[in-house]
Amino acid sequence: MPEFDAPAPTSHGHLAPDRSTAENLARMLRALADPTRIQLLALMNGAGPEGTTVKELTDALTFRQPTISHHLRILLDEGIVCKSQTGRQTWYSIAAEHAGSISDLLR
């Protein structure tokens, strides 16, 4: 017998994510689970609304630019980070839909 006999009355009426939801979330977490990427996200989280440039990120961390770009690519592929272009400058920022939960994660 489980200790709880009725489904929990949550605000959205589900107990746990279904299998595919859990797998998708696990995949996203694997993309986040790297100290360099955590640091990149912390920098973007602290940046202004326009985001940051690769140069700013490279300057802030002690990695060379190809390393930074490699980690940014993983975050971009997973949809955690997005980029925008103004003139010749490319800006990276946390995707709006993830901004709240990434900010929580970095607390």
Chain residues that interact with another protein, rule: CB under 8 A: 1-4, 8-12, 14-17, 19-30, 32-39, 42, 97, 99-101, 103-107
Select 2 or 87, whichever has its Cβ closest to another protein.
2
Name residue, tokens 């595919």. Answer: 20
> Smallest distance, Å, CB 70 to another protein?
16
Integer-rounded Cα radius of gyration of the chain: 18
Residue 21, burial from CB neighbour count under 10 angstroms (0-12, 13-18, 19+): exposed
> Smallest distance, Å, CB 50 to another protein?
18
